[in-house]
Structure 1
Amino acid sequence: MILDIYKDSIEFASRKISILLVLGVLSFFNFLIVPLIFVYGYNYKIIKLSTQSMINVDAVPPEFSGLKEMFIDGLKYIVVNLVYMIIPIIIIAFAISSKSQLLLLIGFLLALICVAFSFLAIPHMAANNDSLKSAFALGELKEIMSFIGYGRYIASYLGIVFISLAVIIIVAFIIGIIFNILGIATLSISTAGFGQVTQLITNAILLFLVSPFLLIFKNRSQGLIYNLRG
């Protein structure tokens, strides 16, 4: 079932290239904050759609529309993740400043637990009429996690991380091969300008295509994994 979710999510993320470019451009301007909020709002839109979907259907990423609603949803997305992570962040920051390895370990372990809950919190909010309160219903989230199976749940999340890293490595490797075939890599050794160009092209592909693709893949998987609650 988990492998089916990954397959569905990869296919889902591949079905609308225009959305990848939109997310890529917005991500480029993340430092302006507002574009970042819209990116999170679109993340939420995908998760919500996925909580209402079946696996292995011909679903496509939603349109980038309803900007007011997306902005509000983006703020909710940020608030939920911030609330879950604020205590671990404070503990880790204090541990670093005090050079306490024990406190640092506690902070990281707490961060992992909070990430596990926040990963379910967003789709749980989406599945309950966008109720912010539902995102912090820890008892309900724990029950869902238990129903899915703790080992299965953790493995499903680690699978997303592994696939994302694998995609980045494979894409970078393919780009390198293409540069070699075209002779660009050879030129870049003798000319610093070519080296900068190849790096710029690689970064652009990763930013405007690969990163948005992985973002959609992760959000689709997140919503479908939540559906395993039965």
Structure 2
Amino acid sequence: MEFGEIFKDALKYPISDYKALLIVGVLFLISSLVLVLAQFGVSDSTFSMVWAIVALLVSILLMGYALSVMKNGIELDDEIPAFDWVKNFVDGLKVLVVNIIYMIIPTIICGIIGFISIMPAISEIFSSERIARMGSSADISIIFSTVPSSVWDSLFAGIAITAIIAIILFIIFGLFETIAQCRLAKYDSLGEAFSVGEIYSDIKEIGILKLIAFLIVLWIIACIIGIIGAFITAIPYVGLIIAALVVYPFILLYSNRALGLLYSDV
């Protein structure tokens, strides 16, 4: 399908079934209950901690439901799927596992690179001699002025190198994670979500530049809707409720529908 067809369909999709949109909205509202109550001056630390667990469980359920929306898109099914609470929750756990594993790898790599490239300069800047001078109430700006320019150059170079590598790695792993979720939706198998060779073949079939362009457009549209949601949220008392019931579920249904339609051609 062409981009225009995909996004036209995806933007119409959430309002094709107001009942389903409202159910998803109620779940978003439940997960945001602490924030909603805070607007009315109701705040309790114990309740907030307990409700954080509830919000996490609801979020996992929503991730699983989003996967079923994606699956319908892949199968070109125009119906918004009904909730299957147990399956949606289990699927949500699978999505969580996929997200964690695909993101933890670049995080660890970037952490190692950052440690190797930045820590020597940090150690030099905060040497025991300089720490001792800080303890004697020396002006920190004067202390830092004693650091050789070569050390600062090394620090900034390390930060730049780490940032560039981080951007590249997170883009690559983000692409793989996106297609991994599509494969999980299509085959209902964690094994398929980690079939790196098959995922790479899917990315090549879609086209790397096409996939990147698609995700950029998807993100821009979601951001525009999110900005509208932010303005709605600013409405006293009812803003957050309206955003939770309408805006956030719209983004969930729209984005996963679009991804499913994109993958339907693979």
Q: Same fold (TM over 0.5)?
A: yes
Task: Return the alpha-carbon distance in structure 2 between the equivalents of residues 82 and 126 of structure 1.
Answer: 17
Letter in 1 for 2:88: M
Q: Is the 8 A contact 2:61 2:92 kept in 1?
A: yes
Q: Are residues 1:166 and 2:224 paired?
A: yes
- Once the two structures are TM-superposed, the CA of residue 169 in structure 1 deviates from its matched residue by 3.3
Residues 12-161 of structure 1 correspond to what in structure 2 (within 5 A)? 12-30=13-31, 31=52, 32=54, 33-53=56-76, 59-64=78-83, 66-91=84-109, 95=114, 100-101=158-159, 102-128=161-187, 130-161=188-219
TM-score by length of 1: 0.78
Give the deviation of 1:20 after TM superposition: 2.6
CA distance in 1, matches of 2:74, 2:90: 19
Describe the superposition over 1:126-161 as per-residue Cα deviations: whole angstroms up to 9, x where unpaired: 222x11111111111111111111111111111110
Number of residue pairs aligned between Structure 1 and Structure 2: 202
Q: Secondary structure at the match of 1:200?
A: coil
In the alignment, the residues of structure 2 paired with residue 219 and residue 167 of structure 1 have an alpha-carbon distance, to the nearest angstrom, of: 15
C-alpha separation in 2, matches of 1:226 and 1:47 = 9
Which runs of at least 4 in structure 1 moved beyond 6 Å after TM superposition? none
1:206 Cα deviation after fit: 2.1
Match for residue 258 of structure 2 among 216, 221, 224? 221
Deviation at 1:204, TM superposition (A): 2.4
Q: 1:108-143 deviations in whole A, cap 9, x for unaligned?
A: 321111111111111212222x11111111111111
Q: Which amino acid aligns with 2:251?
A: L
User: 1:203, CA displacement in angstroms?
Assistant: 2.5
When residues 125 and 201 of structure 1 are mapped into structure 2, their CA distance, relative to the original with a 3 A threshold, is: same
What amino acid is the match of 2:226? Answer: I
Shift of 1:23: 2.2
| 1:201 Cα deviation from its structure 2 partner | 2.8
CA contact 2:60–2:92 (8 Å) conserved in 1:
yes
Q: Which amino acid aligns with 1:224?
A: L
| Cα distance in 1, alignment partners of residues 93 and 57 from structure 2 | 10
Aligned to 2:147: none
Q: Which ranges in structure 2 are unaligned for 5 or more consecutive residues?
A: 32-51, 120-154
Alignment correspondent of 2:9: 8
1:203 aligns with 2:253: no
Gaps spanning 5+ residues in structure 1: where? Answer: 177-195
| 8 A contact 1:91–1:103 mirrored in 2 | no
* TM-score normalised over the length of structure 2: 0.68
1:87-120 alpha-carbon deviations (Å, 9 max, x no partner): 2234556649957412233223211111111111
Offset at residue 72 of structure 1 (A)? 1.0
One-letter identity of the residue aligned with 1:34: L
Structure (1 or 2) with the larger CA radius of gyration: 2
The percent of aligned pairs where both chains have the same amino acid is 31
